[in-house]
Amino acid sequence: MTRIRHEPVAPTRTQRLASGGSIDAHRHDDHQIVYAGRGVLAITTSAGSWVAPGNRAIWVPAGTVHAHRAHGELDLHLVGLPATDNPLGLDAPTVLAVGPLLRELIIAYTRAPGHDGPERTRLRAVLLDQLRASPQQPLHLPAPASPRLRALCEILQADPADNRSLAELGRQVGASDRTLSRLFRSDLGMTFPQWRTQLRLQHALVLLAEKEPVTTVAHRCGWSSTSAFIDVFRRTFGHTPGSHPAD
């Protein structure tokens, strides 16, 4: 049985992880904001995975068992907040947009975590104000509970470029496309095309962090053309993959 580490207080600090590095499953009694100033961060829980590039942060509520993984060299900024401070009222991990001001606030707040005083209290108050104004981003890839749906999702996670239809994949896992379509909606709260696009976008973020060319990323993630990939990426993240802030 895997032992889950319990850290009563969520730390406020900076940490560097090499590409492919990880932090094993653990939980805190406090909330935590996790921000990658460089690289791409992935957080995994029993409910699925969240991936955040350099213009996104991940809110991890108190008590959530989660693991971290680095894609690309990762500069990790961790902000711990008491369980009584939940500026967004969120009870599940959530990806948040990080504008220039919020980015600098997070970096400044984690730079000297041991120095409490009036200036740091004011800095924290402004940080919380900016969090309240931070738009939530739909970057969650939910994990299926149904064995048949889990088998199908594992096929696509192993090869996001697999372009087979739901009916074709269904024949491999022993379920009809109608049954699988219903399971996607009931178990995961999204359609099959929506889930596959989300998977491909997460995989694209990882490949871009590993410095793969945009054309290669589009091909390896299953888009029919580079322009189609760029269009979906821009609509989701607000910028093109060529200007992706992974550094």
CA proximity to 159, closest of 149, 173, 169: 169
Is CATH 2.60.120.810 what the domain over 5-140 is classified as, yes or no? yes
pLDDT at 246: 47
pLDDT at 73: 85
pLDDT tier at 2, thresholds 50, 70, 90: low
Predicted TM-score (pTM) of the model is 0.81
Hey, where are the domains in the chain? 5-140, 144-243
Q: What is the mean pLDDT of residues 16-40?
A: 89
CA dist 124 and 120 (Å) reads: 6
pLDDT tens digits for range 199-241: 999 999 889 888 899 999 999 999 999 999 999 998 888 788 8
- Non-local (6+) Cβ contacts of 119 within 8 A are none
CA dist 69 and 207 (Å) reads: 14
Q: What is the CATH number of domain 144-243?
A: 1.10.10.60
Q: What's the token pair of residue 6?
A: 């319990």
pLDDT at 1: 43
pLDDT tens digits for range 36-61: 888 888 899 988 999 888 778 999 99
pLDDT tens digits for range 88-116: 888 889 989 898 999 999 999 998 766 67
Percent over 90 (pLDDT), the chain: 51
Q: What is the mean pLDDT of residues 61-66?
A: 93
Q: What is the mean pLDDT of residues 5-16?
A: 81
Burial 151-185 (b: 16+ CB within 10 A, else e): ebbeebeeebeeeeebeebbeebebeeeebbebbe
Mean pLDDT (the chain) is 88
